[in-house]
Amino acid sequence: MRRRVVFCCPIGRTGQAPWPDKPQPDTLKRDKDVLHDDAGRSEMERTIGILLDPQTYRALPRKETGQEDVGLYDRSARKLGLTLLYFTLGELRRGYVTGRILQNGRYRQVKAAIPPVTHNRTLIGTTAGKRRMRRLQASSTVFNGDNRYSKLYIHRLLAAYKELRPYLPATWPYSAQRLAKAMRSGLTVYLKPLDGTVGRGIVKLTPIPDTGRWKLQWGDNRQELASASAAEAWVRRKICGRSYLIQEAIPLASSEGRPFDLRVAVQRDGTGFWKVTGVLGKRAAAGSHITNIARGGTSLPGETLLRTGVANPAAAMAEVHRVSLAIARRLGQRLPLLADLGLDVGVDRDGRVSFIEMNGRHQRMAFAEAGMREAYERIYEMPLRYAAYVLDRIERHGRQRR
């Protein structure tokens, strides 16, 4: 019988996954409509679940799942001898879930036992959604169950480790006083929403040497202001009570006169340890300071951009791998059930690496758009390998406390 896998994320102190408590008896009941094999056992005992957002789930029968390339999950599952159950939190019931599995080329709807391991690929922001997630976690080991954290929170977690501090740009919670102090020191700074995504709401403040003037950039807009106090007043109006951080600007390397940074896919593998599975380059549009693909940036292989923008590209890539793995390991020690990350890092002309931010549900399509097909497929396969590893551990040792 083929093994079945469900997606969500566990985390451990040594880089390997901890296991939640054993499910309560009522979660083990078998409904007469739950899928069974010929031996009378539930087929879902060897299933891994993939938790999707409702829009992607509804598109499954049409096989038009947009940014989520579900076909690669299915191909990897066949390679690994697994079967996948796709579902949403809205279909979760007491002891079972309604979802879809691929059979004879079609995504057939089934009512099945809650899978023992789940990979979460949806963002959960509502109170009701978080409550349903807790219900799922009572019966399934869900990795990346919580996949959205404040930028300032992640920075503070990493700053607790002495060995990582050299890679962290100076970062503070926004206040008018803190901004004024940073500007008096002549720093170029970014102001970023604490919970912002895809580069929205980012403001860059750059001093113009020997003039007292400041250049402001936000989105595709630019403006020069006559003084630091005028720039500070503009920022207060722009932010308008939202939660922001102030971050020292990283002197990013550039390619063809356009700054770039790197998206590093770091995932737990089939042995439970962290591995770099791909390094994507993101180059800003001409005249822009934002590298995000959704804001006009261009995706290219990381090696390509390092060759054109860094003095020693091979050494820089090795350092990117080393620092990214060190960050992932530390985050894995502090955040529950983490296994699939997209880390944004900057590299300067001399190859020095700086951490920018963590993405707990990064969009993978950019790797394909950059022509990195092998890495793209590997990024979909690795969570399945990890889920199978977790499933094997559960079958041997049961679900354990963290």
Q: Where in the chain is the domain with CATH 3.30.470.20?
A: 149-169+251-371
Tokens coding 124: 């959960």
pLDDT band at 355 (very low <50, low <70, confident <90, very high): very high
Residue 198: how many other CB atoms lie within 10 Å: 12
Tokens coding 103: 């059979």
The rounded radius of gyration (Å) of the Cα atoms in the chain is 23
pLDDT band at 400 (very low <50, low <70, confident <90, very high): low
Nearest to 49 by CA among 120, 148, 122: 120
* Amino acid letter for position 336: P
298 pairs with which residues across the strands?
283
Q: Taking the domain 42-145, which CATH number applies?
A: 3.40.50.20
Q: What is the mean pLDDT of residues 136-142?
A: 95
Per-residue model confidence as pLDDT tens digits over 302-348: 999 999 999 999 999 999 999 999 999 999 999 989 999 999 999 99
Q: Please say whether the structural domain 149-169+251-371 has been given the CATH code 3.30.70.240.
A: no
In the prediction, which pLDDT does 115 show? 96
Per-residue model confidence as pLDDT tens digits over 2-55: 454 444 433 333 344 443 333 333 333 333 344 543 333 344 457 999 999 999
pTM score, two decimals? Answer: 0.86
Helix (H) or strand (E) holding 97: strand 96-103
Mean pLDDT rounded to a whole number for the chain:
86
3-state secondary structure at position 216 = strand
In the prediction, which pLDDT does 266 show? 98
3-state secondary structure at position 109 = strand
Backbone phi, then psi, for 114, in 5-degree steps? -60, 125
Backbone phi, then psi, for 251, in 5-degree steps? -75, 80
Q: Which parts of 161-313 are beta strand (E)?
A: 171-173, 189-193, 203-207, 214-218, 221-225, 244-248, 254-255, 258-268, 274-283, 298-301
**CA–CA distances in Å: residue 54 to residues 99, 233, 257:** 11, 42, 41
Q: Where in the chain is the domain with CATH 3.40.50.20?
A: 42-145
Q: How many helices (H) and strands (E) does the chain have?
A: 10, 20
Q: Please give the Cα distance from 265 to 281 (Å, whole number).
A: 11
In the prediction, which pLDDT does 37 show? 38
